[in-house]
Amino acid sequence: MTTVNTSIDYLRSASAAGSTTGTTSGTTSGTSGSSGTLGMSDFLTLLTTQMQTQDPFNPVDNTQMVAQMAQFSSVAGISSMNTTLSQIASNLDGSRIGDAASWIGKSVLSSGATASALSDGSYAGQITLPSNAADMKVSFIDANGTIVHSEDAGAQSAGAVNFAWDGKDTSGNAVAGPVTVQASATDANGKAITPSIATWAEVEGVQSPAGGSSAQLITSSGLVSPTAVLSLS
Protein backbone atom coordinates (compact mmCIF):
# COMPACT_ATOMS: atom_id res chain seq x y z
CA MET A 1 0.00 0.00 0.00
CA THR A 2 1.23 3.52 -0.78
CA THR A 3 0.73 4.62 2.82
CA VAL A 4 2.99 1.97 4.24
CA ASN A 5 5.76 2.43 1.72
CA THR A 6 5.83 6.21 2.09
CA SER A 7 5.83 6.04 5.88
CA ILE A 8 8.64 3.50 5.89
CA ASP A 9 10.64 5.66 3.47
CA TYR A 10 10.22 8.67 5.72
CA LEU A 11 11.09 6.62 8.81
CA ARG A 12 14.30 5.44 7.20
CA SER A 13 15.25 8.95 6.06
CA ALA A 14 14.51 10.40 9.51
CA SER A 15 16.64 7.76 11.22
CA ALA A 16 19.49 8.37 8.78
CA ALA A 17 19.23 12.10 9.31
CA GLY A 18 19.31 11.57 13.07
CA SER A 19 22.58 9.66 12.85
CA THR A 20 24.22 12.52 10.92
CA THR A 21 22.66 15.62 12.46
CA GLY A 22 23.39 14.30 15.95
CA THR A 23 27.09 15.05 15.38
CA THR A 24 26.46 18.73 14.65
CA SER A 25 25.50 21.46 17.09
CA GLY A 26 22.25 23.40 17.14
CA THR A 27 19.87 20.50 16.52
CA THR A 28 16.33 21.78 17.08
CA SER A 29 14.01 20.27 19.67
CA GLY A 30 11.65 17.57 18.43
CA THR A 31 13.91 16.18 15.70
CA SER A 32 16.09 13.12 15.69
CA GLY A 33 19.05 13.41 18.13
CA SER A 34 22.43 11.77 18.29
CA SER A 35 20.78 8.54 19.48
CA GLY A 36 18.76 8.28 16.23
CA THR A 37 15.42 8.41 18.10
CA LEU A 38 12.35 10.12 16.69
CA GLY A 39 10.82 13.23 18.22
CA MET A 40 7.27 14.57 18.25
CA SER A 41 7.67 16.41 14.93
CA ASP A 42 8.76 13.13 13.30
CA PHE A 43 5.67 11.34 14.57
CA LEU A 44 3.42 14.17 13.35
CA THR A 45 5.12 14.12 9.96
CA LEU A 46 4.53 10.38 9.73
CA LEU A 47 0.88 10.89 10.61
CA THR A 48 0.29 13.64 8.07
CA THR A 49 2.20 11.70 5.40
CA GLN A 50 0.03 8.69 6.11
CA MET A 51 -3.13 10.78 5.78
CA GLN A 52 -1.98 12.46 2.55
CA THR A 53 -0.89 9.27 0.82
CA GLN A 54 -3.55 6.87 2.04
CA ASP A 55 -5.65 4.96 -0.46
CA PRO A 56 -8.90 6.94 -0.80
CA PHE A 57 -10.75 3.66 -1.42
CA ASN A 58 -9.27 2.09 1.71
CA PRO A 59 -8.55 4.94 4.19
CA VAL A 60 -7.09 4.50 7.63
CA ASP A 61 -9.64 3.18 10.09
CA ASN A 62 -10.91 5.80 12.56
CA THR A 63 -10.06 3.54 15.49
CA GLN A 64 -6.46 3.29 14.32
CA MET A 65 -6.27 7.05 13.87
CA VAL A 66 -7.53 7.70 17.39
CA ALA A 67 -5.07 5.14 18.78
CA GLN A 68 -2.17 6.84 16.98
CA MET A 69 -3.23 10.26 18.25
CA ALA A 70 -3.37 8.83 21.77
CA GLN A 71 0.17 7.51 21.38
CA PHE A 72 1.41 10.91 20.22
CA SER A 73 -0.29 12.52 23.22
CA SER A 74 1.38 10.00 25.54
CA VAL A 75 4.80 10.75 24.08
CA ALA A 76 4.27 14.47 24.60
CA GLY A 77 3.05 13.88 28.14
CA ILE A 78 6.05 11.73 29.03
CA SER A 79 8.43 14.36 27.64
CA SER A 80 6.74 17.07 29.70
CA MET A 81 6.78 14.86 32.79
CA ASN A 82 10.53 14.22 32.43
CA THR A 83 11.14 17.97 32.31
CA THR A 84 9.02 18.51 35.40
CA LEU A 85 10.75 15.70 37.31
CA SER A 86 14.15 17.18 36.46
CA GLN A 87 13.04 20.52 37.87
CA ILE A 88 11.73 18.83 41.03
CA ALA A 89 15.02 16.94 41.48
CA SER A 90 16.96 20.19 41.11
CA ASN A 91 14.75 21.89 43.70
CA LEU A 92 15.15 18.97 46.10
CA ASP A 93 18.95 19.15 45.82
CA GLY A 94 18.83 22.81 46.77
CA SER A 95 16.51 21.98 49.66
CA ARG A 96 18.93 19.33 50.92
CA ILE A 97 21.72 21.91 51.04
CA GLY A 98 19.44 24.23 53.01
CA ASP A 99 18.52 21.43 55.41
CA ALA A 100 22.18 20.55 55.94
CA ALA A 101 22.95 24.22 56.66
CA SER A 102 20.61 24.03 59.66
CA TRP A 103 23.05 21.51 61.19
CA ILE A 104 25.81 24.11 61.59
CA GLY A 105 26.76 24.36 65.26
CA LYS A 106 25.45 20.89 66.04
CA SER A 107 27.36 17.62 66.43
CA VAL A 108 27.11 14.61 64.12
CA LEU A 109 28.06 11.00 64.73
CA SER A 110 29.70 9.27 61.78
CA SER A 111 31.79 6.16 61.23
CA GLY A 112 35.53 6.57 61.67
CA ALA A 113 38.24 6.19 64.30
CA THR A 114 39.61 9.73 63.98
CA ALA A 115 38.17 12.09 66.60
CA SER A 116 38.53 15.84 67.10
CA ALA A 117 37.92 17.68 70.32
CA LEU A 118 34.41 19.06 70.81
CA SER A 119 33.79 22.63 71.98
CA ASP A 120 34.42 21.66 75.64
CA GLY A 121 37.65 19.84 74.75
CA SER A 122 36.19 16.38 75.21
CA TYR A 123 36.15 13.42 72.82
CA ALA A 124 33.12 11.19 72.39
CA GLY A 125 31.78 8.48 70.17
CA GLN A 126 30.20 5.08 69.93
CA ILE A 127 31.57 1.55 69.67
CA THR A 128 29.40 -1.18 68.18
CA LEU A 129 30.07 -4.76 69.20
CA PRO A 130 28.91 -7.58 66.88
CA SER A 131 28.61 -9.93 69.88
CA ASN A 132 28.85 -9.92 73.68
CA ALA A 133 32.25 -8.99 75.05
CA ALA A 134 33.68 -10.27 78.32
CA ASP A 135 36.12 -7.36 78.32
CA MET A 136 36.56 -4.21 76.26
CA LYS A 137 39.25 -1.54 76.33
CA VAL A 138 39.23 1.92 74.72
CA SER A 139 42.42 3.86 74.00
CA PHE A 140 43.11 7.32 72.57
CA ILE A 141 46.29 7.77 70.53
CA ASP A 142 47.77 11.15 69.52
CA ALA A 143 49.50 12.08 66.26
CA ASN A 144 52.83 10.79 67.58
CA GLY A 145 51.42 7.32 68.22
CA THR A 146 51.42 7.78 72.00
CA ILE A 147 48.52 6.47 74.05
CA VAL A 148 47.36 9.59 75.89
CA HIS A 149 44.41 7.96 77.61
CA SER A 150 43.09 4.44 78.12
CA GLU A 151 40.20 2.98 80.04
CA ASP A 152 38.75 -0.47 80.67
CA ALA A 153 35.05 -0.65 79.83
CA GLY A 154 34.67 -4.18 81.20
CA ALA A 155 32.01 -6.60 80.02
CA GLN A 156 29.59 -5.21 77.40
CA SER A 157 26.58 -6.61 75.59
CA ALA A 158 26.40 -6.73 71.82
CA GLY A 159 25.32 -3.47 70.24
CA ALA A 160 26.21 0.19 70.66
CA VAL A 161 28.37 1.32 73.57
CA ASN A 162 28.88 5.06 74.07
CA PHE A 163 32.22 6.41 75.24
CA ALA A 164 33.45 9.84 76.33
CA TRP A 165 36.75 11.28 77.56
CA ASP A 166 37.30 14.80 78.94
CA GLY A 167 40.38 15.24 76.72
CA LYS A 168 42.90 15.65 79.53
CA ASP A 169 45.97 13.50 80.11
CA THR A 170 47.16 12.16 83.47
CA SER A 171 48.71 15.54 84.24
CA GLY A 172 45.45 17.36 83.62
CA ASN A 173 46.61 18.96 80.39
CA ALA A 174 44.27 19.21 77.41
CA VAL A 175 45.27 16.94 74.54
CA ALA A 176 45.19 18.62 71.15
CA GLY A 177 43.47 16.53 68.53
CA PRO A 178 42.84 14.88 66.37
CA VAL A 179 43.31 11.55 68.11
CA THR A 180 42.74 8.00 66.97
CA VAL A 181 40.26 5.91 68.92
CA GLN A 182 41.22 2.27 69.30
CA ALA A 183 38.89 -0.37 70.75
CA SER A 184 39.78 -3.95 71.58
CA ALA A 185 37.44 -6.60 72.92
CA THR A 186 37.38 -10.34 73.66
CA ASP A 187 34.53 -12.79 74.24
CA ALA A 188 34.12 -15.23 77.12
CA ASN A 189 36.52 -17.67 75.42
CA GLY A 190 39.22 -15.04 75.01
CA LYS A 191 38.62 -14.76 71.26
CA ALA A 192 39.13 -11.28 69.80
CA ILE A 193 36.08 -9.34 68.68
CA THR A 194 36.30 -6.66 66.00
CA PRO A 195 34.12 -3.67 66.89
CA SER A 196 33.21 -0.73 64.65
CA ILE A 197 33.90 2.83 65.78
CA ALA A 198 32.05 6.09 65.22
CA THR A 199 32.98 9.51 66.60
CA TRP A 200 31.22 12.80 67.27
CA ALA A 201 32.31 15.96 65.45
CA GLU A 202 30.93 19.48 65.36
CA VAL A 203 29.54 20.86 62.10
CA GLU A 204 31.35 24.07 61.17
CA GLY A 205 29.83 24.66 57.74
CA VAL A 206 28.31 23.20 54.58
CA GLN A 207 29.74 23.12 51.08
CA SER A 208 28.42 22.07 47.69
CA PRO A 209 31.07 20.67 45.30
CA ALA A 210 31.43 22.50 41.97
CA GLY A 211 30.70 19.27 40.10
CA GLY A 212 27.30 18.74 41.69
CA SER A 213 24.75 19.89 44.23
CA SER A 214 25.28 17.16 46.83
CA ALA A 215 25.99 18.91 50.13
CA GLN A 216 28.98 18.03 52.30
CA LEU A 217 29.24 18.87 55.99
CA ILE A 218 32.45 20.60 57.08
CA THR A 219 33.29 19.19 60.50
CA SER A 220 36.22 19.38 62.88
CA SER A 221 37.19 15.91 61.62
CA GLY A 222 36.85 16.67 57.90
CA LEU A 223 34.12 16.45 55.27
CA VAL A 224 31.14 14.24 56.06
CA SER A 225 28.25 13.38 53.74
CA PRO A 226 24.81 13.96 55.34
CA THR A 227 23.84 10.44 54.29
CA ALA A 228 26.75 9.06 56.37
CA VAL A 229 25.51 10.69 59.58
CA LEU A 230 24.39 8.11 62.13
CA SER A 231 23.04 10.58 64.69
CA LEU A 232 22.61 14.33 65.16
CA SER A 233 22.88 16.18 68.45
150, pLDDT greater than 90: yes
pTM exceeds 0.75: no
Share of the chain above pLDDT 90, in %: 36
Tens of pLDDT along 35-65?
556 666 777 777 777 777 777 777 766 777 6
Q: Rounded to whole angstroms, how far apart are CA atoms 229 and 233?
A: 11
Candidates 2.60.40.4070, 1.10.10.10, 3.30.450.20, 3.20.20.140; CATH matching 107-232: 2.60.40.4070
Task: State residue 37's pLDDT score.
Answer: 60
Convert the pLDDT of each residue in 197-230 to its tens digit: 999 999 988 887 665 556 788 888 888 888 888 9
Would you state the pLDDT for residue 118?
Answer: 92
* Per-residue burial over 124-155, b = 16 or more CB atoms within 10 Å of its CB, e = otherwise: bbbbebeeebebbebebbbeeeeebbeeeeee
- Kind and range of the H or E element at 199? strand 196-207
Dist. CA 5–CA 53, nearest whole Å: 10
Residue 86 above 80 pLDDT? no
Q: Tell me the domain boundaries of the chain.
A: 2-92, 107-232
How confident is the model at residue 74, as a pLDDT?
A: 75
Cβ atoms of residues 173 and 200 within 8 Å: no
What pLDDT, on the 0 to 100 scale, is given for residue 186? 95
